[in-house]
């Protein structure tokens, strides 16, 4: 395949599909749901099975999709699914099995408003579900929050790298704004799918057929409590390593700031605009944007909080990330939440008024 | 003649399949699961597929199938084995991929995954051990529990107004375009065991030839769940189960 590195204009959802084909993804399994159906549609139109050999399956449900991802990951392949909030709720069973059996895989959640069937309009209401594990048992998954169409594309390969490095599911927690909006992007460079021999070599734990080695068993079941506790301790140690090495975030105008907005994904884009307006009015507001929601940039938040009059958590939900900020800040400075729900996205102006209100 | 003199290779008429390892099986005495395991181990070995077989084990009494047959295994969530098999086969098409599922796993919680994997014609084999009860959880009603049959959750017997009717998923499977071979067998007698083994071999061969999906149902006993001795259970199965779940091929593309 020839290298295309020109600047393109596309939707966030389309960017994910193109990035998957280009980063050596072996399989996509998904079920249609607004506002992310363009991912499966783009893949179906691109027919990557004829070029890279990538498998694309429209599954019968999100339960099936995530279990296909579990199976694909278990046999060492770079596989992914995508959905929106109600579908991701259905996937939690598979995600906890993947966490327990230490299976890599990518789950994209282009969030919409809830609870229940909710609305097809954007929301960030699944923060708790994504960052607290979501399914049964003690586990975490790495959560990346893209804030642009470019990041939708770039985080696909990054997710696979992290998923295989730590043998863990990775969630890209996006939302209907980023999924649907069109922006300029440069697609990532083309990378071939790993050959079967490379998969066997790089994933000696995977169920690829024995071929001369001892048999591999992928399971999350263990009835002996002492062995199960040892496995849980191993998982927790792995999560600690991830906390130490994989925190990602971005600062915006924090150098001289004495007030901090914290926002992720699409909310951070609105927050940036609000900060420009604040600065025009002489208010020294900056922003910390967590890129990894789990692991959360707790240390960075804690150190910035030392010099802030307050921190405002700007979220398109009823206040979820604000809990993590409060835990990180531990009382050093006041922490407030501002958000809208039900598919309403806050405007920069209302954020500015909220900051003015907090100052007074 | 001493025992030592008798135990000679030329006198060998029966042995433990090479692919069954030495882990003590957790199955109850007389349980059909262990016979089916033995047949699967034999067929994989005879087909020379030991090095490239991936089995998907269920949630049910056979959850630990992976402890007994020396091949690669993925342990599935309850009912989801066919979805896992679909991805596994598509991503490693040279491998033999089969699921092993009970009636609760396949015909209740996993009905959707089962029907769609079969209907897609995924080149996988679904082995369905139908003992008309939830063995693992202690003998509750299954989708395949017969009318009038007593279980811990239908203690007065299954009745249609409360519980609906026993589900014949194998009959449904035979109507699906994606299936190439659908059969119902048993393992309570040597003749049945031979037929089941031949059925497994045919299903595995078809799947390696890329002819579509296969379902091999094995009408089975669960003496513990049925509260019978293994012998009584075999008798009850032949009297009652075979009348409703008729043995034989329901579909075979080669027979067309
Ligand atoms: C999601 C979920 N629901 C319920 C259970 C509990 N459970 C374990 S095995 C089983 C029934 C198994 O019955 P069957 O599939 O017929 O297998 P058998 O034990 O009879 O071979 C149930 C309900 C579970 N493990 N997971
Ligand atoms: S409970 Fe029933 S199915 Fe389970 S091992 Fe015992 S006899 Fe077999
Ligand atoms: Mg059963």
Residue boundaries of the structural domains of chain B: 27-255
Residues of chain A with pLDDT under 70: 1-4
Please indicate whether, in this complex, the C-beta atoms of A212 and B73 are within 8 angstroms of each other.
no
**Residue B247 near residue B185 (C-beta atoms within 8 A):** yes
Of A71, A75, A207, the CB nearest to B83: A71
Identify the bridge partners of residue A109 per DSSP, sorted by sequence position. A83, A173
Task: Report DSSP letters for A186-202, one per residue.
Answer: EPPPP-PPPPHHHHHHH
Q: How far apart (Å, rounded) are the C-alpha atoms in residues A83 and A89?
A: 10
Q: How far apart (Å, rounded) are the C-alpha atoms in residues B53 and A4?
A: 40
Q: How far apart (Å, rounded) are the C-alpha atoms in residues B214 and B210?
A: 11
The tens place of each residue's pLDDT in chain B, 256 residues long, gives 788 888 888 888 888 999 999 999 999 999 999 999 999 999 999 999 999 999 999 999 999 999 999 999 999 999 999 999 999 999 999 999 999 999 999 999 999 999 999 999 999 999 999 999 999 999 999 999 999 999 999 999 999 999 999 999 999 999 999 999 999 999 999 999 999 999 999 999 999 999 999 999 999 999 999 999 999 999 999 999 999 999 999 999 988 6
The per-residue pLDDT for A4 is 54
Burial of A267 (0-12, 13-18, 19+ CB in 10 A): buried
List CB contacts of A91: < 8 A, sequence separation 6 or more.
Answer: A62, A63, A65, A66, A81, A83, A107
Residue A249 backbone phi and psi in degrees, to 5: -160, 170
The per-residue pLDDT for B9 is 86
- What is the ipTM metric for this complex? 0.95
Which atom of ligand 1 is nearest the CA belonging to B106? 15
Domain spanning A250-359 has what CATH number? 3.40.50.920
Of B51, B66, B116, the CB nearest to A211: B51
Query: What is the interface size between A and B, counted as CB pairs within 8 Å?
Result: 125
Q: How is residue A301 written in tokens? A: 């938040």
Q: How far apart (Å, rounded) are the C-alpha atoms in residues B160 and A299?
A: 62
Which atom of ligand 2 is nearest the CA belonging to B223? 7
Quote the ligand 3 centre to B128 CA distance (angstroms).
9
Indicate the pairing of strand A217-218 with strand A285-290: unpaired
Tell me whether domains A7-203 and A250-359 share a fold.
yes
Angle between helix axes B111-120 and A62-74 (nearest 10 degrees) is: 70
Q: Which of A314, A309, A357 minimizes the C-alpha distance to A329? A: A309
Q: How is residue A152 written in tokens? A: 């939708």
Please report the residues numbered 40 through 79 in chain B whose beta carbons come closer than 8 angstroms to any beta carbon of chain A: 50-54, 56, 63, 66, 70-77
The per-residue pLDDT for B255 is 82
The per-residue pLDDT for B13 is 85
Q: How far apart (Å, rounded) are the C-alpha atoms in residues A127 and A37?
A: 21
Q: Which of B215, B251, B213 minimizes the C-alpha distance to B122? A: B213
Q: Collapse the DSSP code of A319 into the 3-class scheme (helix H, G, I; strand E, B; otherwise coil) and give the result.
A: coil
For A158-173, give one letter per residue: b (16+ CB within 10 A) or e: bbbebbbebbbbbbbb
Q: How is residue A326 written in tokens? A: 């409060």
Interval A126-136: pLDDT, tens: 999 999 999 99
The per-residue pLDDT for B14 is 85
**Residue A64 near residue B112 (C-beta atoms within 8 A):** yes
Q: Which of A358, A357, A355, A360 minimizes the C-alpha distance to A279? A: A355
**Residue A173 near residue B57 (C-beta atoms within 8 A):** no
Cβ neighbour number for residue A21 with a 10 Å cutoff: 23
The pick from B31, B62, B139, B228 for probing ligand 2's pocket by mutation, whose C-beta has the most ligand atoms within 8 angstroms, reads B31
Burial of B16 (0-12, 13-18, 19+ CB in 10 A): exposed
Please indicate whether, in this complex, the C-beta atoms of A207 and B54 are within 8 angstroms of each other.
yes
Q: How far apart (Å, rounded) are the C-alpha atoms in residues B195 and A5?
A: 60
The architecture in CATH of the region A7-203 reads 3-Layer(aba) Sandwich (3.40)
Angle between helix axes B111-120 and B81-91 (nearest 10 degrees) is: 30
Quote the ligand 2 centre to B95 CA distance (angstroms).
30
Please indicate whether, in this complex, the C-beta atoms of B91 and A27 are within 8 angstroms of each other.
yes
The shortest C-alpha distance from A296 to chain B (Å) reads 30
Handedness of CA A73, A171, A85, A8 (dihedral sign): negative
Residue boundaries of the structural domains of chain A: 7-203, 250-359
HEC string of A5-60 equals CCEEEEEHHHHHHHHHHHCCCCEEEECCCCCCCHHHHHHHHHCHHHCCCCEEEECC
Q: By CA distance, what is A200's nearest residue in B?
A: B92
Please indicate whether, in this complex, the C-beta atoms of B87 and A218 are within 8 angstroms of each other.
no
B39 lines ligand 2 (CB under 6 A): no
List CB contacts of A183: < 8 A, sequence separation 6 or more.
Answer: A9, A10, A12, A148, A149, A150
Cβ neighbour number for residue A306 with a 10 Å cutoff: 9
The architecture in CATH of the region B27-255 reads 3-Layer(aba) Sandwich (3.40)
């Amino acid at each position: 395949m020839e290298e295309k590195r020109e600047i393109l204009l596309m939707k966030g959802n389309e960017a994910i599909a193109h990035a998957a084909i280009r980063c050596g993804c072996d399989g996509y399994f998904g079920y249609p749901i607004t506002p992310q159906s363009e991912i499966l549609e783009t893949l179906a139109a691109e027919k990557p099975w004829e070029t890279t050999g990538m498998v694309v399956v429209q599954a019968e449900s999100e339960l099936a999709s995530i279990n296909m991802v579990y199976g694909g990951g278990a046999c060492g392949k770079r596989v992914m699914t995508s959905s929106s909030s109600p579908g991701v709720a259905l996937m939690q069973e598979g995600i906890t099995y993947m966490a327990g059996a230490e299976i890599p895989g990518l789950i994209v959640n282009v969030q919409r408003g809830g609870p229940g069937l909710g609305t097809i309009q954007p929301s960030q209401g699944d923060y708790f579900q994504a960052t607290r594990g979501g399914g049964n048992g003690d586990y975490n998954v790495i959560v990346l929050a893209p804030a642009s169409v470019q990041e939708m594309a770039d985080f696909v390969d990054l997710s696979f790298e992290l998923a295989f490095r730590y043998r863990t599911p990775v969630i890209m927690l996006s939302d209907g704004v980023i999924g649907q909006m069109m922006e300029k992007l440069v697609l990532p460079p083309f990378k071939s799918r790993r050959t079967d021999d490379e998969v066997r070599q790089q994933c000696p734990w995977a169920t690829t057929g024995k071929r001369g080695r001892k048999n591999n068993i992928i399971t999350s079941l263990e009835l002996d409590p002492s062995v199960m506790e040892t496995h849980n301790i191993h998982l927790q140690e792995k999560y600690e390593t991830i906390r130490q090495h994989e925190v990602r975030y971005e600062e915006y105008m924090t150098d001289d700031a004495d007030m901090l907005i914290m926002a992720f994904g699409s909310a951070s884009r609105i927050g940036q605009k609000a900060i420009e307006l604040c600065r025009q009015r002489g208010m020294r507001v900056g922003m910390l944007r967590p890129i990894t929601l789990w692991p959360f940039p707790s240390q960075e938040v804690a150190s910035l909080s030392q010099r802030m009059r307050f921190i405002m958590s700007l979220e398109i939900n009823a206040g979820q990330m604000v809990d993590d900020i409060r835990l990180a800040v531990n009382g050093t400075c006041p922490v407030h939440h501002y958000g809208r729900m039900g598919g309403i996205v806050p405007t920069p102006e209302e954020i500015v008024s909220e900051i003015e209100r907090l100052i007074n | 003649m001493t025992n030592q003199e008798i135990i000679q290779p030329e006198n060998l008429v029966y042995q433990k399949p090479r692919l069954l390892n030495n882990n003590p099986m957790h199955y109850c005495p007389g349980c059909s699961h262990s016979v089916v395991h033995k047949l699967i181990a034999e067929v994989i070995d005879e087909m020379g597929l030991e090095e490239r077989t991936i089995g998907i084990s269920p949630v049910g009494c056979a959850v630990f199938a992976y402890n007994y047959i020396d091949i690669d295994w993925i342990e599935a969530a309850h009912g989801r084995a066919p979805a896992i098999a679909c991805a596994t086969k598509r991503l490693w098409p040279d491998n033999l991929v089969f699921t092993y599922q009970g009636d609760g796993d396949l015909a209740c919680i996993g009905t959707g995954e089962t029907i769609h994997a079969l209907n897609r014609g995924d080149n996988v084999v679904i082995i369905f051990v139908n003992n008309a009860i939830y063995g693992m959880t202690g003998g509750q009603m299954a989708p395949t529990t017969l009318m009038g049959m007593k279980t811990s959750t239908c203690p007065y017997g299954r009745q249609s107004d409360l519980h609906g009717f026993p589900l014949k998923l194998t009959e449904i499977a035979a109507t699906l375009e994606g299936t190439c071979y659908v059969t119902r067998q048993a393992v309570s007698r040597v003749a049945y065991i031979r037929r089941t083994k031949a059925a497994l071999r045919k299903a595995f061969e078809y799947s390696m030839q890329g002819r579509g999906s296969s379902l091999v149902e094995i009408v089975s006993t669960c003496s513990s769940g049925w509260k019978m001795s293994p012998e009584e259970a075999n008798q009850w199965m032949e009297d009652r189960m075979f009348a409703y779940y008729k043995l034989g091929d329901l579909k075979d593309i080669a027979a067309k």
